[in-house]
Amino acid sequence: MAHRIDYESAYKAALEQNISEVLDAILTGDTSMRIKLANYSEKFGIPVRFLEHKILSDNLFANGFIKDPSKQSLHQKVAAQFIESINCVEDFEQLPAGGQNAKYICDDGIVRAGENGGQAKSIDFYWVFDGKIYYAAHKHTSEEGGAQDNQFKDLQLFLENAAKSKVANTYFLAIGDGEYYQKKYKSAGLEYQTRIDYMNAKFGTDYARAITTDDLEEFLIGHSSYKNV
């Protein structure tokens, strides 16, 4: 049975690490922390010494001064580690998000570096499995909202461009993790069980699919010679 990705434990561990870093910054007199506390003190009229004491003694209050792990590309890092750990995945790369070395699936279905044809998001991951090439765009989205809908649109455009690819033995995967992609979705009078189902119905091909990370290993084996072993 394929193992499942564990974002929750990774998030909690990253949160604890970030809290620890805030406490260390207070104790060592870190310059950036001093500036942050001075600004907070001026804005709310609370003495810096009281703020330091409050942060060191109250983790709940300290949470207001830590970095949110979800804004540190945590989910993408966890997904990358998970995919790379799948048996027989080779040459795995987490690709740059921008710059001349970033790669895009352009609106003519061709992968190019350093340009964003069709305004699709950059490709996040590359790997080889059973001699076949895989490119993936990854999003982790939990809640509903405008920013989240934009992430959904990013995956749709990636898949729409990928559906035009004519390159043999090359697959494109729009990976949508999180509750957002598992909710029902209505479009053009039709209702789909999940947003993943919608993307596959509208843009999916044999070589361009929407999927979750948990279903990835089964998908890879199903499209390889290993399924007959």
Q: Read out DSSP for 189-218?
A: TEEESSHHHHHHHHH--SSEEEE-GGGHHH
Residue 49 and residue 125 in one domain: no
Q: For residue 228, what pLDDT is reported?
A: 60
The pLDDT of residue 145 is: 72
Write down the pLDDT at residue 149.
Answer: 87
**Coil, strand or helix at 223:** coil
Asked if the structure places residue 173 within a domain, the reply is yes
Q: How far does CA 188 lie from the centroid of its chain? A: 28
Place of tokens 């909690």: 12
pLDDT for 133 equals 97
- Select from 131, 133, 121 the least CA-distant residue to 97: 121
**Residue linked to tokens 């279905």:** 109
* Total tally of structural domains belonging to the chain: 2
Measure the CA–CA gap between 74 and 11, rounded to whole angstroms.
7
* One domain for residues 158 and 220: yes
Q: In 214-229, which positions are buried (b, 16+ CB within 10 angstroms) versus exposed (e)?
A: ebbbebbbebeeeeee
In a domain, 1, yes or no: no
Verify that 13 and 116 share a domain, yes or no: no
Low-confidence ranges of the chain (pLDDT < 50): none
Q: Among 67, 101, 116, identify where a domain stops.
A: 67
2 found inside a domain? no
- Domain span at 183: 73-228
pLDDT computed for residue 64 by the predictor: 87
For residue 94, give both structure tokens. 């987490």
